[in-house]
A and B are shown apart, each in its own frame.
Chain A
Amino acid sequence: MKIAAHTLISDLTARTEKASETVRAYRGLTEEQLNAKQNPESWSMLECLEHLNLYGDFYLPELEKRILTAKPATSATFKSGVIGNYFAGLMLPKATGMKKMKSPKDKNPANSGLSVATIDRFLKQQEHLLRLLSLASKADLTKTKCAISISRLIKLRLGDTFRFYVYHIERHVAQAERTKTGLGKTA
């Protein structure tokens, strides 16, 4: 796909701000609520956030590194790569309900002893992401390549990496919201 770079950055920024706003409200919940699971295999709200935090531990330094060494944009348009576009699309929460996907083992937050501090860690990562999105407006989103967490052999275009990363956050925040809505309704 092709999109004006500044439109993409604005869109991703808006999604990130929305996710932060949603999660900020979780500070008012009790630790019990935040750790509640709808069933033994599903994730609690904190587990959803910690999963995202674990991804941030990899992607935020990687994105920062690539942006700081990126060449300035030669075109105002971002052109998606085939693989990047595919990964980004995979992550989007869809209106018709999301496909269940297995998480990589090192990104599985289950049973890692989480607390309200997990929420603040998440919010700080989003603030960092917003700074990176702002810096990225000067970088070439198409020509700059980023490593990904699951394979050393694949690099994605910077624009696609941001899309993949931001949509992934939306996906799991939506999951946390569903868990929140379900609080107190399970046996």
Chain B
Amino acid sequence: MDPFIQFLTDNATERTVAKNAFIFTEGRVDQNIYFIKSGAVRVFLQTEFEEMTIRFGYANNIIASLSSFINDTPSEFYMQAIRSTTMSVISKAQFLEFTSASPDRLNWYIQLLQGLVTQQMEREIDLLTPSPSERLQRVLARSPQLFQEIPSKYIASYLRMTPETLSRIRRSMNP
């Protein structure tokens, strides 16, 4: 079995949150690592004008308030359950205990971070892509199950377009 999954089975706290409940909120330090077992979550930034969804988490994703986790600073983001979600939760101390136990573990962590950095760059290109339909194509290529898992209003926010524009693009893609 995947050593990380085994570690979670042995050490994690199970947590279930209801639809729309917050897992972490802006302004509080949250250094937990969340492994989603079932359900779906979104991470968003609350600006003065709107909620901006920046990330989704599905089953088998690892998710955290990254800057808070790394720097011990208050979270800039909210994580909210899109539907009832069950997670395995470990603390930063537990996570670091796992990753520092052996060179293999450290390698696993390095791979994880490399994957994360790659995802961030993909995301940066997403946001700089001028064509809304192309932005949608890029995300669908990464997550074909997107529309089955996530309500379209959050997808529109993630793609930086209005829900109306998203509807129009989807209709033109599926005449």
Residues of B within 8 A of A127 (CB): 48
A33 at the interface (CB under 8 A from B): no
| Minimum distance in angstroms from A2 CB to a CB of chain B | 32
Do B48 and A128 have beta carbons less than 8 Å apart?
Answer: yes
Binds B, one of A11-19, A84-92, A112-120, A174-182: A112-120
Q: Are B49 and A120 in contact (CB under 8 A)?
A: no
A121 touching B26 by the CB < 8 A rule?
A: no
Decide yes or no whether A159 CB sits under 8 A from chain B: no
B78 at the interface (CB under 8 A from A): yes
Give CA–CA (A128, B49) in the complex, Å: 11
B122 at the binding interface (Cβ < 8 Å): no
Cβ contacts under 8 Å, B46 to chain A: 117, 120-121, 124
Question: Closest CB of chain B to A160's CB: distance in Å?
Answer: 23
| Interface status of B27 (Cβ within 8 A of chain A) | yes
Q: How many interface residues does chain B have, given as a range?
A: 10 to 19
- Contact between chains at A117 and B26 (CB < 8 Å): yes
- CB of B27 within 8 A of CB of A56, answer no
Q: B55 to chain A: closest CB distance in Å?
A: 16
- Counting residue pairs across A and B whose Cβ atoms lie within 8 Å, the total is 29
Instruction: Identify whether the interface residues of A are mostly helix, strand, loop, or mixed.
Output: helix
Q: Look across to chain B and name the residue whose beta carbon is closest to the beta carbon of A61.
A: B49
A57 to B47, CA, bound (A): 11
Q: Which of B27, B46, B78 has the most CB of A within 10 A?
A: B46
Q: Which residue of B lies closest to A126 (CB)?
A: B48
Task: Tell whether A23 is near chain B: CB-to-CB under 8 Å.
Answer: no
For A116, the chain B residues whose CB sits under 8 A away are 22, 25
B47 is contacted by which of A27, A115, A121 (Cβ under 8 Å)? A121
A27 to B26 alpha-carbon distance, docked (Å): 10
Q: Which residues of A in the span 128-145 have a Cβ within 8 Å of any Cβ on B?
A: 128
Assess A56 versus B48: contact at CB under 8 Å? Given A117-B78, A120-B27: yes
B-chain residues with CB within 8 Å of residue A117 when the two chains form the complex: 25-26, 44, 46, 51, 78
User: Would you call B49 and A57 a contact (CB within 8 A)?
Assistant: yes
Among A27, A57, A117, A121: residue with most chain B CB under 10 A:
A117
Scoring B22, B49, B51 by chain A CB atoms within 10 A of each residue's CB, the highest score goes to B49
**Bound Cα distance from A52 to B133, whole angstroms:** 35
B44: A residues at CB distance < 8 A: 117
7 nearest CB pairs, A to B: A124-B48, A125-B48, A117-B46, A120-B46, A120-B26, A121-B46, A128-B48
CB<8 Å pairs between A and B, sample of 13 = A27-B27, A60-B48, A117-B25, A117-B26, A117-B44, A117-B46, A120-B26, A120-B46, A121-B46, A121-B48, A124-B46, A124-B47, A128-B48
Using a CB–CB cutoff of 8 Å, the interface residues on chain A facing chain B are: 27, 53, 56-57, 60, 115-117, 120-121, 124-125, 127-128
Residues of B near any A CB (own CB < 8 A): 20, 22, 25-27, 44, 46-49, 51, 78
